[in-house]
Structure 1
C-alpha cells in the first residue's frame, strides 16, 4: 500500500521526536515549531508561529542566531552550543544543527534541530564551586571533602583474596608515579575507590582531585567543561577555567573514557603529550600539570576495535594498567564484604544486626553477582531496611535469591548419587569454606578449627582454588 506523506502527517511524526525542531521562512518568521521545542523552551506554539525569531529570542541577533546565519550564508552548521534568553526571560542552553532550505537554487528558509541541555546547569555549578574552593585554598581556607579532595584510601578497599591483594599492590606502586593510569572493570567493581586511593597515596594528595564522567554529554559541552571557555567563543559563553586548569598540580579522573567523543580524544591526547590546553575559542595555550587517571567499564582493547577509543590514546593512557576482578572471581571476599556492609548499615540505619546465617553466605557464594560489589552492598542495605530480628536469614533476602536457594538444595540432594570420593571432596571443600568464614579469612585460625597444619590447609586452598 502506498504511503502518502501530507504536511499534517509529517507534523505528527515530528511531534514524537525528542529533539526540538524549528523552521523559519526567508524573512526570519517562524513557520513551524514542534512539540519538543515548545516544551524545552516553555513557549506555546501559537505564540511562536508567525513571529520573527528575534522577537521570540530577543537576546540573539542576526550574527548569533544559527537559523538566521543559515539563511544568510547558505551553509549548514553542526552541533553549535548556544545559551540565550527567550522572550519570557528564561535562560536556555542548546546544541543546534541548522540547515538552509533551498528551492530552485534559492534559499527560502532554514530548519534547526536542537537538543536542550539546560538540565546540565548542575555541572556548571559544580565547576564554579570547584573554582571557589581552589581560591579559598589559596587564601588558606579549609576546603570541604565534597569538592576537590579524594575521599577514600586503600584502607577502604575491602578484600583479602589473592586477586585483590595483587591489584591493590599494583595500585599502591602506581600511586608513587606520575604516569597516566587506565583502570578497567565491570560496573560495581570499585573503580572509583581505586582512583581515590591512588590519589590519596600519591605526592599530589594535597592538591585538587576532580572527577568527570565522559558519558552521555554532548561533545561541545564536555569540551567546554574540560578545557574552559573564553567570552564570545559561543553565544552566552564567559571566561571560565576548565577542569584541567582547576586540577592543576593534582589529579583529573576521567570516568567512562570509552564514551568520550572521538573528536575530544584528539585534544586529550595533545594534553597528555605536551601538558598544554587551549580554552574553547582561545588563541593562546596554557600549561597544566595534571595526572590523568581514566576508567573504562568495557575492555579497552574491545573499545579500540569498535572505534570507541582511539588506538593512540589507548597506548598513551595504558602506561599503567589495572584490571579489577569481578566479585564472582573473588568469592573468598564475600564473607568479609558482607560483614563490612552489615557494620556499615548498622551505623547508618541505627540497626543491631549481628550477622548473616551460614545458609545466606552459601547462597551468596553460589550467586554470580552481575552487579558485583555494588550489588552485594545494595542487597544488604535493602534487606536490613525491611527485616526484623538481628540475623539475616534466607527469608530476609530479595525474592530473586529463591532460585539460588533451590539450586543449593538440589545440589545437596544430588550429592547422594555421586561416588564416595566426590562426596568426600565436596564435604571437605564446604568444611574449609566454613572454617575460613568463621575465621574471618585468617588461615591460621581456620587451620586450628579444622585441627590440621597450616601448610596443609594452604595446599588444599590452592588445590580447590578457594582464594
Structure 2
C-alpha cells in the first residue's frame, strides 16, 4: 500500500470517527495538554448553544467559567489524572448560559504521559430546572395575586370574586375556554374560610356518564360487579370546595341528582339506600351562555338557578387587550425558567399582531403561542414574528403586519389566505434551511429537531431543492 492510499484511508477513518461522534446522544469534548479544545461534537454544541468555531482550538477557561478551577473535571483529568464517573457539574459559557451535566471524565495517556482529557456529558439542565420548579411550586396554590391584569374588566371580576369568599354560596363561573375559570375557582376557595380543607376539581366532560356518577357520588359494595365501598369526590371534598368544570356536559339525570345533593346537602352512593350528609361548597363553570345551554337542553333551568347564587362572567382576552403585554411577559418569565432561556420581550411586530388578534383560545392560546415560540429559540433574547407557530399565523385576521426581513414570503396575512399553499411551502422551506444551517447540514439532527423522520426530511430537501444551495 503506497503513501497516497494510506493517507486516503486515514482521511476516511477520521471522517467515520467524526460522523460517529456527531451521531451519539452525548456531548463529547477533548482538550489537549495545553488545555485547548481539539474535539467538540454536535451534541455538545447543542447542549451549550455554541458553534464549533467558538470553541475549537481555544483554551477551555476562555470559553467556560467555573466557580473554582478544581470544579472543571476536564482540567482535573488533564492536570491530576483524575477519573470522574457520573458526576454532576454546573458551569457557565462565555455567553452567560448556565449548563448542568452529568459527566464521565478521564485522562488520555500515552507512554505514561497525559496527552489529552475527554469528557462525555449528558445534559440535565432542563431536568434540574424542572426539579427546582416542582420543589418550589409543589404547594403553590392559585390566589387572587396569581391573576394577571390591570384592565377594568378583569379588576371588576376580581373584586366580585373576593366578595364571594365571605360565604359558602354556590358559584357559577361563565367564560370561554382558556379564560382562567379554574384560577378564579381556586382563588375563591383559598380566600375563604374553607382554605384549609380540600379543593377538588373535576372536568365533567372528561369521563362517560356511568363513570362520572360513581366518581362524584361514590359506590356501595355490591352495587355492580367489582364495586367496593368508596367515597365519591363530593364526600372527599368534605368541608372544602368542589369545582365541577363544564357542568353543561353532565347528562340531565346526573344534573338532577346533583341538584338534589345541593338542595338536601346530602348524597347517596351508587347502589346504597342511605343518604350521607355533606358540607361542600359547589363552584361550577360553563363555557357558553347559560341561557343558550338551557334552551338547547344542555343545562337544567332549576340547576342553573341553584348554582348561580353568585355568577361571575370572565371576560375573553379580546375584551381586555390592554392586559396582553402583562400576560405575555409573565409567560416569557415562566418558560425562561423552564427552558433555561434568556428571552426579554416580544418584538414590535409580534406586539402589533398580538393586540390585533382575536384570541379565540383566550389566555391559554396566548400561553401556547409564547411556549411554541420559545421552543424555536436558542440564544435569541426577543420573540420575533418568525418564531410564532404557523397555525397561529394562519388563524390571524390581521391584514398588514411589520415582520422581520428574514422571511422571504409575504408579511400580509391577507395574501396567506389567498395563496395559502404557496405561502406555507415557502415558509416550510425557509425554516428547514435555517434549522439545517444551524445544525451544520447534519440530516439526522435536523430531522430530530423538526420532529420528522430522515426520509421525510430528505423528501422535502429534494422537493424544495434545498441541498443545491449547500
TM value normalised by structure 2: 0.54
Q: Which runs of 5 or more residues in structure 1 are unaligned? A: 1-143, 414-467
Pairing partner for 1:273 from 246, 263, 268: 263
Which position in structure 2 is the counterpart of 1:317? 307
Pair 1:366-2:356 in alignment:
yes
Q: Is the CA contact (8 Å cut-off) linking 2:357 and 2:398 kept in structure 1?
A: no
CA 1:404 to 1:280, structure 2 compared with 1: closer, same or farther past 3 Å? closer
Pairing partner for 2:382 from 379, 391, 397: 391
Pair 1:161-2:154 in alignment:
no
Alignment of 1:43-122 (within 5 A): none
Q: Is the CA contact (8 Å cut-off) linking 2:345 and 2:383 kept in structure 1?
A: yes
Q: Equivalents in 2 of 1:216, 1:202: separation in Å?
A: 28
Which position in structure 1 is the counterpart of 2:326? 336
Which position in structure 1 is the counterpart of 2:204? 214
Q: Is the CA contact (8 Å cut-off) linking 1:150 and 1:200 kept in structure 2?
A: no
Alignment of 1:446-465 (within 5 A): none
Pair 1:226-2:220 in alignment:
no
Pair 1:243-2:233 in alignment:
yes
Q: Is the CA contact (8 Å cut-off) linking 1:328 and 1:372 kept in structure 2?
A: yes
CA 1:150 to 1:270, structure 2 compared with 1: closer, same or farther past 3 Å? farther
Deviation of the 1:191 alpha carbon: 0.5
Deviation of the 1:401 alpha carbon: 2.5
Q: Is the CA contact (8 Å cut-off) linking 2:171 and 2:284 kept in structure 1?
A: yes
Deviation of the 1:406 alpha carbon: 4.5
Q: Does the residue aligned with 1:241 lie in a helix, a strand or coil?
A: coil
Alpha-carbon displacement from aligned partner over 1:67-123 (angstroms, at most 9, x marks no partner): xxxxxxxxxxxxxxxxxxxxxxxxxxxxxxxxxxxxxxxxxxxxxxxxxxxxxxxxx
Q: Equivalents in 1 of 2:254, 2:237: separation in Å?
A: 18
Q: Equivalents in 1 of 2:328, 2:232: separation in Å?
A: 40
Pair 1:195-2:188 in alignment:
no
Pair 1:283-2:312 in alignment:
no
Q: How many residues align?
A: 267
CA 1:396 to 1:219, structure 2 compared with 1: closer, same or farther past 3 Å? closer
Q: Equivalents in 1 of 2:398, 2:360: separation in Å?
A: 17
Alpha-carbon displacement from aligned partner over 1:47-83 (angstroms, at most 9, x marks no partner): xxxxxxxxxxxxxxxxxxxxxxxxxxxxxxxxxxxxx
Q: Equivalents in 2 of 1:409, 1:358: separation in Å?
A: 8
Pair 1:407-2:400 in alignment:
yes
Which position in structure 1 is the counterpart of 2:63? none
TM value normalised by structure 1: 0.55
Deviation of the 1:150 alpha carbon: 7.9
CA 1:349 to 1:145, structure 2 compared with 1: closer, same or farther past 3 Å? closer
Alignment of 1:374-385 (within 5 A): 374-385=364-375
Q: Is the CA contact (8 Å cut-off) linking 1:151 and 1:196 kept in structure 2?
A: yes
Deviation of the 1:359 alpha carbon: 2.0
Which position in structure 1 is the counterpart of 2:48? none
Q: Equivalents in 2 of 1:177, 1:322: separation in Å?
A: 15
